[in-house]
């Protein structure tokens, strides 16, 4: 079964792999971004997505500094840029499966999943269950339209990486 620790995003309440979340700590009433996940304080977590960071910035109780919010946003932006161009260069290779049907068919050969951030809740649950059952790492990243553009489709909600080497490069 799934051995990677999961935490709940304090904004959207979704349970995710810890690597998909930023850690935030509270010290004497001041919230701080725990960039290296090592601060000795009780942590809460937020998704590494623009959507959740934006919503967090409007949260009055979680009084993160603008500098911390900016740092988080930049980290997300950097990661997204890399993934999009990386996928773009691989789009004609045999390493990619896309869409739920193709990915399900290929599941035994898949090593990493990229799930669109705006995928429906029902499909999201289905895919995360599939990922856990097959011990495949995943991230939520980009929109269906952004992922679709890679394959010249209007929308793609899921991409599977069939190369172990490429998958390792993406999860490092
Ligand atoms: Zn979230």
How many Å lie between the centroid of ligand 1 and the Cα of residue 94? 32
CA distance 112 to 115: 10
Number of residues written out for the chain: 172
How many Å lie between the centroid of ligand 1 and the Cα of residue 3? 21
pLDDT for res 3: 59
How many Å lie between the centroid of ligand 1 and the Cα of residue 63? 17
> Quick one: tokens of 12?
């959207």
Cβ contact 119:144 at 8 Å: yes
- Positions in the chain whose pLDDT score sits under 50: 1-2
pLDDT for res 52: 93
How many Å lie between the centroid of ligand 1 and the Cα of residue 15? 8
- For 6-80, the fitting CATH number among 3.20.20.70, 3.30.60.50, 3.30.1230.10, 1.10.20.10 is 3.30.1230.10
Report residue 124 CA to chain centroid gap.
Answer: 12
The CATH superfamily of 91-171 is Ribosomal protein L30/S12 (3.30.1330.30)
């Amino acid at each position: 079964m799934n051995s990677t620790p999961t935490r709940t995003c304090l904004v959207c309440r979704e349970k995710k792999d810890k690597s998909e979340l930023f850690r935030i700590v509270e010290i004497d009433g001041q919230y701080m971004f725990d960039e290296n996940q090592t601060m000795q304080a009780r942590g809460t977590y937020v998704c590494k997505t623009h959507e959740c960071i934006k919503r967090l910035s409007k949260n009055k109780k979680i009084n993160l500094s603008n500098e911390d919010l900016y740092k988080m946003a930049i980290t997300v932006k950097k990661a997204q840029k890399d993934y999009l161009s990386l996928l773009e260069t691989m789009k004609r290779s045999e390493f990619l499966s896309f869409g739920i049907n193709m990915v399900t068919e290929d599941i035994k050969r898949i090593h990493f999943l990229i799930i669109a951030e705006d995928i429906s809740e029902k499909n999201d649950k289905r895919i995360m269950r599939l990922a856990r059952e097959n011990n495949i790492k995943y991230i939520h990243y980009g929109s269906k339209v952004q992922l679709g553009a890679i394959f010249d489709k209007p929308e793609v909600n899921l991409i599977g990486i069939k190369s172990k080497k490429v998958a390792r490069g993406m999860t490092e």
